[in-house]
Amino acid sequence: MDAKILVVDDEVQITDTIAYALRREGFNVDVACDGEVALNKVKTFRPLILILDIMMPKFNGYEVLKRIENRNIIGIIMLTAKSDIIDKVLGLELGADDFIIKPFDMRELTARVNSLVRRLEKVAINEDLILGKLKINKLSRRAIIEDTAMDLTPKEFDLLSLLVSRPERVYSRDELLDLVWGKEYIGGTRTVDIHMRRLRQKLGVSNEDMLQTVHGVGYRSTGLQHES
């Protein structure tokens, strides 16, 4: 396993400890001490996974997320000393995949990293999914709506692909959480709702009905959109 992981924290002891543990797992690890250095290393090191502290000098973790290009091909695990739900919601809105609250057990972090890497490195099927005006290519992990490429985070892409692959099939929030985030994920189903809202916004007003809420159950995709 040689997946690249970038660890970003302004506490050297933390970056060194995490880097040591992940290298023992076989990962290719680099570190950064602040948001500015992190953004430069994202471009040069090109990590598959970014482990990102929230409170840092120069640019905090949220600002780094806003500035990262091609976020849809990078998995994001945020480190935070805060357990406030508002911090988690903001991180999810900006594209984070998972959270670890300090202090944490290193075995938990490595388990979360391994789980996220497995999901990101799953063998993609070289087949287009087409639903209405939406076209998804799983190999390139690109989604195009009305000839415009959608800017999706990895989880948004996985969620959209799952729903589109089985039109009209209703998924409960718990099912979507297990299938997209994995059974190891400890966040609640609110995560699913946040990502669905973001996907509808990115599909645009004329296509947002492609993803429908089935009240009291969950969500489904449908090619039958309302006429505007």
Place of tokens 């996220």: 116
Place of tokens 């994995």: 182
How much is the pLDDT for 226? 40
- Is the bond into 103 cis (omega within 30 degrees of 0)? yes
CATH of 4-120, one of 3.40.190.10, 2.40.30.170, 3.40.50.2300, 3.40.50.1970: 3.40.50.2300
How much is the pLDDT for 224? 54
How much is the pLDDT for 70? 66
> What CATH number should be reported for the domain whose range is 128-221?
1.10.10.10
How much is the pLDDT for 125? 46
* Topology alike, domains 4-120 and 128-221: no
Cβ proximity of 144 and 134 under 8 Å: yes
Spell out the domain ranges in the chain: 4-120, 128-221
pLDDT along the chain (228 residues), means of 10: 86 95 94 94 90 90 86 83 73 84 91 86 61 86 91 92 88 90 79 94 90 93 58
Cβ proximity of 94 and 65 under 8 Å: yes
Cβ proximity of 194 and 92 under 8 Å: yes
How much is the pLDDT for 126? 46
Q: In what order do the strands lie in the sheet with 134-137?
A: 128-131, 134-137, 142-145, 148-149
The torsion defined by the Cα of 116, 107, 86 and 187, in degrees rounded to 10, comes to 60
Instruction: Classify 18 as helix, strand or coil.
Output: helix
How much is the pLDDT for 227? 38
Count of C-beta atoms within a 10 Å radius of residue 174: 12
Residue 71 DSSP symbol: G
User: Which one, of 84, 77, 139, 137, lies nearest residue 109 by Cα?
Assistant: 77
User: Which one, of 117, 110, 100, lies nearest residue 47 by Cα?
Assistant: 117
